Structure 1
Amino acid sequence: MYQSIKRGLLVLAATLFALPAFSASYTIGTGSQSGTYYPLGGMLAKVWSENIPDFNMRAEVTAASVENTIKVATGKQLVGVSQGNVVLQAANGQKPFPRKMGVSVLFALYPNVVQFIVPADSDIHSIQDLKGKKVSLGAPGSGTRVSATNILQTLGISTSDIRAQSLNYTATTNAIANGQIDAGVIVGSLGVGAITELALTHDVRILSFTADELKKITAANPSYIEQDVPQNSYNKVPAFKAPAVWNVLVVNKNLDNKLAYQMTKIAFEHMDEIRKVINVTQFTTIDNMNKLNGIALHPGAEKYRQEQFAK
């Protein structure tokens, strides 16, 4: 019996060693399919999966920034796309996060513009005119909702001053098109698909912030910058001024240094390929890697950045 068991164990061992090695599978948290996060996450997943040994990643549709940051911090996602202000709030344990989250930044991506959309013939011409109106502030768990709420509060408008709705990108533009809401907020890249598609079929405007409003916002939220958007950035939409915040790739602060370095290196080595599909990654450069103030880059990413500047 002993010899039989021994032979069985040897056969089992030989079988195990003969099995092919499986790649580790990961996800990158993105956003809705009508935004920029999802196709960008798909491109990053593609270049990482194709160029990092034993590495397989897929893009996951999520509610975007807040959800991605929480999932990264709790180990449910390897990496996520997020607005920088959301990552800073997570690192500092500020609302909507219940405590300090163990997160870090791989590198900055591109600026997101805070875009308050109204029909072209609307009587809403300023941020203050939103009081008493039905306004979509973004999906629960999204950076859009965090940014919209923070900015309105900074300008003295609480959610009780408006009839707040909680809609994602697609639902927001559909509701504007159908006259179901008075205004909607989309915090996304300039030229984001949801607004581009809406402007092709409906006449819309995007509210312009005053110089005083922008000054108050950037003073209260250092992660924001002022953005001048030229006329016809969307079909027949006049020029406007708005606050903008950098998007980043958020990772767990305990992510393996070697893997963080590999992911950063591979991403930048294939950035030209990514730019052919995602135009806003023209802003994703070595110089802009640490564009988000208030939080350090992950050590693995910082090692790559320092190597590039040393060349």
Structure 2
Amino acid sequence: MNKTLKNGILGLACLFSFNALAENYTIGTGSQSGTYYPLGGILAKIWSENIDDFDMRAEVTAASVENTIKVAAKKQLAGIAMGNVVLQASEGVKPFPRKMDVAPLFALYPNVVQFIVPADSDIKSIKDLKGKKVSLGAPGSGTRVSSTNILAALGINDSDIEAQSLNYTATTNAIAAGQIDAGAIVGSVGVGAITELAFTNKIRILSFTAEELKAVSENNASYQSIDVPAESYKGVAAFSAPAVWNILVVNKNMDTDLAYQMTKVAFEHMDEINQVISVTKFTTIENMNKLEGVDLHPGSMKFFKEKMQ
């Protein structure tokens, strides 16, 4: 066997040996038209490149509820989920059948509850949704949990509307086609699905009143009010809405050293992440512990305490 061929075979053997040793993981995200998927992708890339024997890929899922359940069942190493969903999981509150073994690794950025209607719609307020055909989000999504909870806090139940169960893309397509009267998307300001819809259709986003915002926060402390400036989407006026922080969730029994390493690597490369996902400007060490009611994972808490001393 000539020397060149022998070296090539040895090189391939080493490569396959390395791949066999590397742990393969997934991070649960959401639909490809939302923010979760590209964020999960860049996190997976950074961890894979900077943690030894670690290989991760982003997985398309139904988002918050599915991700939280899979993390608790150890079918995903990490997942992105809305804070209220993680809190409900840790407490064993519906839609979860029992307490889930989950913990925040760190908080990411706030999600805004955005009810979209055509610009010429006769729906002017949240209360006007009664009797209308409204998409509340895909089953198993944080949008579904949040929109349902928020409407219930304002005295509007599923029976008061013609509830539809559509994901981001299906919701905006249905609004554009006039198949539904309104649709909820709970995502970052500037989320792709709404941005794309606003470029091709004239839309409005319903603004919550001060009284409605107070009722929502009193019903669930995970929500805080946020004022979104005009032209955050093309042609859309300023609006006020409830917001909830997104959380990077892991199993609370995850290895402490791995959780510490994942947190440390993520924040060491946060500038790189910011260049891909602009809303991660909110992902700071100071904001790590934004979700009240659930303790950070011990590994990320170790990193937090080191940096905040």
Tell me the TM-score normalized by structure 1.
0.94
Deviating beyond 6 angstroms after TM superposition, the runs of 4 or more aligned structure 1 residues are: 16-19
- Counterparts of 1:145-184 in structure 2, within 5 Å, are 145-184=144-183
Q: Which blocks of at least 5 consecutive residues in structure 1 are unaligned?
A: 1-15
Partner residue, 1:9: none
Alpha carbons of structure 1 residues 259 and 130: separation in structure 2 relative to 1, 3 Å = same
Alpha carbons of structure 1 residues 18 and 295: separation in structure 2 relative to 1, 3 Å = closer
Between the aligned partners of 1:245 and 1:304, the Cα distance in structure 2 is 24
Between the aligned partners of 1:298 and 1:140, the Cα distance in structure 2 is 28
Between the aligned partners of 1:18 and 1:238, the Cα distance in structure 2 is 55
Between the aligned partners of 2:178 and 2:16, the Cα distance in structure 1 is 59
Partner residue, 1:72: 71
- Counterparts of 1:176-255 in structure 2, within 5 Å, are 176-255=175-254
Secondary structure of residue in 2 paired with 1:276: helix
Alpha carbons of structure 1 residues 207 and 17: separation in structure 2 relative to 1, 3 Å = closer
Partner residue, 2:10: none
1:252 deviation in Å? 0.3
Between the aligned partners of 1:309 and 1:97, the Cα distance in structure 2 is 34
Between the aligned partners of 2:258 and 2:140, the Cα distance in structure 1 is 28
Paired AA for residue 125 in structure 1: K
Between the aligned partners of 1:293 and 1:254, the Cα distance in structure 2 is 20
Paired AA for residue 103 in structure 1: V
Partner residue, 1:118: 117
1:20 deviation in Å? 1.6
Count how many residue pairs are aligned between Structure 1 and Structure 2.
295
Paired AA for residue 296 in structure 1: D
Secondary structure of residue in 2 paired with 1:248: strand
Partner residue, 1:5: none
Partner residue, 2:80: 81
Between the aligned partners of 1:196 and 1:273, the Cα distance in structure 2 is 23
- Counterparts of 1:23-102 in structure 2, within 5 Å, are 23-102=22-101
Q: Which blocks of at least 5 consecutive residues in structure 2 are unaligned?
A: 1-12
1:280 deviation in Å? 0.1
Secondary structure of residue in 2 paired with 1:275: helix
Alpha carbons of structure 1 residues 174 and 18: separation in structure 2 relative to 1, 3 Å = closer
Between the aligned partners of 1:257 and 1:126, the Cα distance in structure 2 is 47
Between the aligned partners of 1:259 and 1:75, the Cα distance in structure 2 is 15
Paired AA for residue 273 in structure 2: I
Partner residue, 1:295: 294
CA RMSD of aligned residues (A): 1.2
Percent identity between matched residues is 74
Superimposed CA distance per residue, residues 1-33 of structure 1 (whole angstroms, 9 cap, x where no aligned partner): xxxxxxxxxxxxxxx999724210000000000
Tell me the TM-score normalized by structure 2.
0.94
**CA radius of gyration, larger in:** 1
